[in-house]
Amino acid sequence: MKITIISVGKIKEKFYTDAIKEYAKRLSKFCKFTEEEIPDERADESFSPSEIEQVKIKEGARILSKIPKGSYVVALDVRGVLLSSEELAKKISRLAVEGTSEITFIIGGSNGLSDEVLSSADFKLSFSKMTFPHQLFKVILIEQIYRAFKINAGESYHK
């Protein structure tokens, strides 16, 4: 299986990039992992709602252009479905059994995802009603993907 994470914005902090590299290395035992970083649009706090919507549309177009054809798309959205680690593992396993060979997870920018990206997703996933820094969330997501593969392999990481 191939797992791709598409995220808006560049991670600059070394401790985040080191964590992502570590989990990517661990994941390589279970799947092919790739990531795509989409440049974020400038969005001042003074922007109007319509200007923010334009930012999301521009970022969304870049995201959509990077989604691999035929991939099962999971958009990370606060209004999505909350799953436990075990439920995420079951979802990934079920998709594999059904013949899905690639899953793409999408992390939006600080203003969220455009309606077009959300409507094109096969599944909307929420980790919490809380807001997380995007850089930290990418680490959390890749760790949970790794945890899901460990659960599915019956290995002892998940405790």
Give percent of the chain with pLDDT exceeding 90: 84
pLDDT of the residue at 104: 98
Q: pLDDT tens digit string along 91-136?
A: 999 999 999 999 999 999 988 999 999 999 999 999 998 888 888 9
pLDDT band at 43 (very low <50, low <70, confident <90, very high): confident
| DSSP conformation class of 68 | P
pLDDT of the residue at 2: 98
Q: Which amino acid is at 132?
A: F
Domains (range + CATH), the chain? 2-152 (3.40.1280.10)
User: What are the residue ranges of helices labelled H in the chain?
Assistant: 14-27, 49-66, 85-97, 115-120, 134-152
Q: Is 112 left (phi over 0), alpha (psi -120 to 50) or beta?
A: left
- Please answer whether residues 140 and 89 qualify as being in contact, where contact means their C-beta atoms are separated by less than 8 angstroms: no
Q: pLDDT tens digit string along 55-103?
A: 999 999 999 999 999 999 999 999 999 999 999 999 999 999 999 999 9
Residues contacting residue 90 through CB under 8 Å, at least 6 positions apart: none
